[in-house]
């Protein structure tokens, strides 16, 4: 007998902004918030540095950057 899994209903949404760090805060527009699917999910904040180039033996080109991500569980209504 073959096991059949129930169909999972999933949805996703993403919104990307690139506010300057000097601003100290940012606001997600209401039209974005109202477009999020109802249910549980997560909200994430990404912070990255500017990239820096470097050279090394055996590489045609190289670059590096640093970054950090913070995610929290969220409920959307």
DSSP 10-62: -----------GGG------HHHHTTSPSEEEEEEEEEEPPPEEE--TT-S-E
In a domain, 46, yes or no: yes
- As a whole number of angstroms, the distance between CA 54 and CA 61 comes to 7
Query: What pLDDT does 18 receive?
Result: 78
pLDDT of residue 52: 94
pLDDT (tens digit, 9 = 90+) per residue, 1-40?
A: 555 555 555 667 777 777 877 888 888 888 888 888 888 8
What's the number of domains the chain is made of?
1
Can you give the pTM of this predicted structure? 0.54
**How far is Cα 76 from Cα 38, in angstroms, rounded to an integer?**
5
| 52 located within any domain | yes
Enclosing domain of residue 60: 38-77
In a domain, 12, yes or no: no
In a domain, 74, yes or no: yes
- pLDDT bucket at 53, cuts 50 / 70 / 90: very high
Whole-angstrom Cα distance, residue 21 to residue 48?
10
Instruction: Identify whether 3 is part of a domain.
Output: no
The token duo for 13 is: 């949404």
């Amino acid at each position: 007998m073959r096991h059949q899994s129930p169909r999972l209903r999933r949805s996703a949404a993403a919104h990307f902004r690139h506010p300057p760090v000097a601003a100290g805060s940012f606001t997600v527009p209401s039209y974005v918030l109202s477009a999020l699917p109802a249910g549980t999910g997560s909200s994430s904040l990404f912070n990255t540095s500017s990239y820096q180039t470097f050279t090394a033996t055996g590489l045609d080109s190289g670059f590096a950057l640093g970054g950090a991500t913070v995610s929290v569980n969220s409920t959307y209504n």
